Structure 1
């Protein structure tokens, strides 16, 4: 059903023809139904998110009343004696997610640019399907792959990094002398570094899909203009596609970061849980909020369950902050703008 434009004069427009006029669109029944469905869907999403937050807050209130602000600064987890906090697991969560983004971002950007700008049309659809299938692989499969296959092959890289870059604080491994050939490989297993790379393999397809869609929408006029001015393909990508897709890069990165912050099974299978702040990403031992909940959910008392809900609430709020920050940055970027001229 088509909409008709109805022009109505405002009181200020009576005095002259040059006065501004207010335009109104007469909405048909189809427009009203569609608008109502969109409004209901948006309200439902917000209501569900608010309900989740309220549920976590109510279940966590008992633990939060006991610990207060110390819940954020304590690196122990002994809820039965009221000595617990998420300082250690929150640090591990952020470090694992940071390692994942550092590996996934260049991989996702490069893959998205290759698919949208360089790959032949006859293989582009196959590459898109392969990337989308990677995003559909269950996280437990990635965890098992990382535990039984990948971990043994990345120990050499961990040893090399700790040998040549031990002067970087977070790349140092306690108890191991740089270049010591007889050091045990076990000090490099089940680390933040290994868990972060496995999580990077999980979030890279999601990031790539978002970036690929944005890169493909770069204005054809600006692409042709760049070529007409003598630009190479890389010059066109650098001056047109990447600036246009900046919002997609940021949005995809933040989406992957949110996924990495909440990853549970893969991290739980790989890391060796320790309840202390562990800033050395190459060293064995780490933890995360989600793996903490998975580890203690089955054997927690009522108060311990309240403490776990408080940890989940902290992770929920952290994810919201990341997503809202991404939305703000994307809204200020150029992605989605029309071609100039």
Structure 2
């Protein structure tokens, strides 16, 4: 498009050459495009509105208890709301420990499974493995809880005792009141522990983390894969130099998604642990607690003020998961995952 600027002449040759300026293009687009754009924006707004409403609801219902407890709510271990003596120091510590144990076990399992499915498994076997992993995520929590309480716990006690015997010099593996050299000592000191609950939760979150990691690994640029092989890299060398750096954001996203579920898991943890309201840093020792298990335990018998205290505990868990996910999002945004791929 030729635009003549006043004072600069025109195309007749009476002055300098005309200046070509870009023309702004404005288009409303097709109706389908506008509907899709509006639907996507509306869906995002609805999700944010629901999150905001959940936070407002929890804050409103917890205001009575928080007004009484104030900052001691974060430092008190006992849970006696009717006596105006309550706090989440013990259950919050238990929640974090169960989540960390679960993630420490789930991430290596999920990462190894995702790499095998995306890089090593034969094509005929790949579909079967993907279906099996997805089916694990569909198993109800109560089934995991029953399996953990009545089968896994008896099998893991020996491992707990071995860890306590040889690694008790590490504070978290110490078991108070247990003598590793006494072969006749009862094993109940190792049951209903944070470690056992963490193993069960790890098996529950592994499929979710594995699915996220697998999808990210499968999108690694084929051009870079072939370039690594052309330069003489082994399959593991290609994975280490191409697939893992590209999928770093997926690894973080899957880990944090699993951690979010681990922090909020209720029924399975409730069926396994023996609730205690003291800070229990020894993960192999009997006795543990979590915020979600506390709510499930006391919800049915709570008074009006006790319900407000439970809402305050739920608000703390809600805020903690939000912080974890925001941190994960900021880390994943700096990774290569999602970059354009080569044909």
**What's the TM-score once normalised by structure 1's chain length?**
0.94
Quick check: 2:213–2:247 contact (8 Å CA) kept in 1?
Answer: yes
Cα distance, 1:20–1:192 mapped onto 2, change above 3 Å: farther
Taking the aligned partners of 1:28 and 1:251, their CA distance within structure 2 comes to: 35
CA shift for structure 1 position 183: 2.3
Of 15, 19, 43 in structure 2, the residue corresponding to residue 16 of structure 1 is 19
Cα distance, 1:228–1:76 mapped onto 2, change above 3 Å: same
CA shift for structure 1 position 55: 0.6
Give a deviation string over 1:180-217, Cα, whole Å, max 9, x none.
32222000000000000000000000000000000000
Query: What secondary structure, in the 3-state scheme, does the structure 1 residue paired with 2:233 have?
Result: coil
Give the unaligned 5+ runs of structure 2: 9-17
Partner of 1:210: 212
CA shift for structure 1 position 24: 4.6
Of 237, 241, 244 in structure 2, the residue corresponding to residue 242 of structure 1 is 244
Partner of 2:319: 317
Taking the aligned partners of 2:113 and 2:25, their CA distance within structure 1 comes to: 46
Taking the aligned partners of 2:90 and 2:299, their CA distance within structure 1 comes to: 18
Say what the alpha-carbon RMSD is for the aligned residues. Answer: 1.9
Query: What secondary structure, in the 3-state scheme, does the structure 2 residue paired with 1:332 have?
Result: coil
Of 72, 75, 79 in structure 1, the residue corresponding to residue 74 of structure 2 is 72
Q: Which 10-residue stretch deviates more, 225-234 or 20-29?
A: 20-29
Partner of 2:13: none
Quick check: 2:222–2:342 contact (8 Å CA) kept in 1?
Answer: no
Quick check: 1:247–1:329 contact (8 Å CA) kept in 2?
Answer: yes
Q: Number of aligned residue pairs: give it.
A: 331
Partner of 2:127: 125
Partner of 1:54: 56
Quick check: 1:8–1:22 contact (8 Å CA) kept in 2?
Answer: no
Of 18, 30, 33 in structure 1, the residue corresponding to residue 32 of structure 2 is 30
Give a deviation string over 1:103-131, Cα, whole Å, max 9, x none.
00000000000000000000100100000
CA shift for structure 1 position 155: 0.4
Q: Which 10-residue stretch deviates more, 176-185 or 22-31?
A: 22-31
Give the unaligned 5+ runs of structure 1: 1-6
**What's the TM-score once normalised by structure 2's chain length?**
0.93
Check if 1:221 corresponds to 2:223: yes
Check if 1:83 corresponds to 2:100: no
Partner of 2:11: none
